[in-house]
Amino acid sequence: MTGADSARLCFHDSLNEFLAPVHRQRPFDYPLTRRASVKDVVEALGVPHPEVGLIRVDGTAVGFAHIVAAGERIDVYPVPTTQAPDGASLLRPPPALPPRFVADTHLGTLARYLRLLGFDTRYRNDHDDPTLAAIAAADGRILLTRDRGLLKRRMVTHACFLRADAPRDQLHEVAVRYPLAAWMDPLSRCARCNGVLRAVDKAAIAHRLAPKTHRYYRRFRECDGCGQLYWAGSHVRHLEALVAEVRDGAGGGAPPGTREIAHVPPH
């Protein structure tokens, strides 16, 4: 039973890793020493609010602004790791579709992968934390980060805390939380600058091609931001593998509406 001036909290599943060891994997009493919202209490215990997908008080779902009262039983669940976006909750509006991202300074390779798959992904290696949070808020982007402090910024609404070190594993983490498989559009965006790729007449860029490329490839795309050229077999060696991983690894096959790769066969 809870004490007269405490609430009983229980964090579920992956949220436990944010907690002090003494609080993990079991309900515990939280003393109420001040008037506090459930969001304040959750973050005071170390759990970033963007990682929370559902809060129930005595069995009823509530929003972040709920003021915690003595005697309440509060269950806190993570954002679901399914194809479903975390929109069906009282905690935040649904993310924009197709999902757009901003990646923190440690996630350059992941940003390149997402761009290759066609996702609008802002990334610079010199963005500071306030800038990252501001970009996420202003553009309705999902913040990708390994920084728990950044996740707790008030203006951050949608964010994904990445647990993995390896970029391919990080991509998988993003793909199981957000519907990448349904929205990917490979080779529509520049991996280098996030610009949009457009088909370009080979004759117009022939002088920029190495002899073998000129000989073996007919269809090209050019970035409208930096002018980088793309063609099958060039910058996209890993693209087929990335597409397959997202399609197969994020929950059992491609959902309806998956767009096929629309790029540049080699002849």
CB nearer Zn ion, residue 111 or residue 223? 223
CB nearer Zn ion, residue 153 or residue 221? 221
* Tokens, residue 193: 């600058």
Compute the least distance from the CB of residue 85 to Zn ion, in Å.
28
Would you give the binding string for Zn ion spanning residues 204-243, x where CB under 5 A is met?
-------------------x-xx-x---------------
Helices and strands in the chain, H and E counts: 9, 12
Instruction: State whether the Cα torsion 125-173-245-190 is positive or negative.
Output: negative
Compute the least distance from the CB of residue 222 to Zn ion, in Å.
9
CA distance 153 to 72: 26
CB nearer Zn ion, residue 223 or residue 232? 223
Compute the least distance from the CB of residue 123 to Zn ion, in Å.
12
Compute the least distance from the CB of residue 239 to Zn ion, in Å.
16
CA distance 109 to 233: 19
CA distance 256 to 45: 40
CA distance 16 to 40: 17
Compute the least distance from the CB of residue 180 to Zn ion, in Å.
21
CB nearer Zn ion, residue 193 or residue 209? 193
Write phi, then psi, for 162 (nearest 5 degrees): -95, 125
- Greatest C-alpha distance within the chain: 80
CB nearer Zn ion, residue 146 or residue 192? 192
CA distance 199 to 189: 12
Compute the least distance from the CB of residue 265 to Zn ion, in Å.
22
List the strands of the sheet with 142-145, edge to edge: 121-122, 101-103, 142-145, 159-161
Angle at 255 between CA 251 and CA 257, to 5 degrees: 155
Q: Does the footprint of Zn ion cover residue 98 (CB under 5 A)?
A: no
**Of 193, 197, 175, whose CA–CA distance to 244 is shortest?**
175
CB nearer Zn ion, residue 164 or residue 199? 199
* Binding residues for Zn ion restricted to 160-199, rule: CB under 5 A: 190, 192-193, 195
Compute the least distance from the CB of residue 14 to Zn ion, in Å.
35
Give the total of residues touching Zn ion (CB under 5 A). Answer: 8
Strand ranges, E, within 190-250: 197-200, 220-223, 229-230
CB nearer Zn ion, residue 152 or residue 221? 221
Q: Which residues of this protein are in contact with Zn ion, per CB under 5 A?
A: 190, 192-193, 195, 223, 225-226, 228
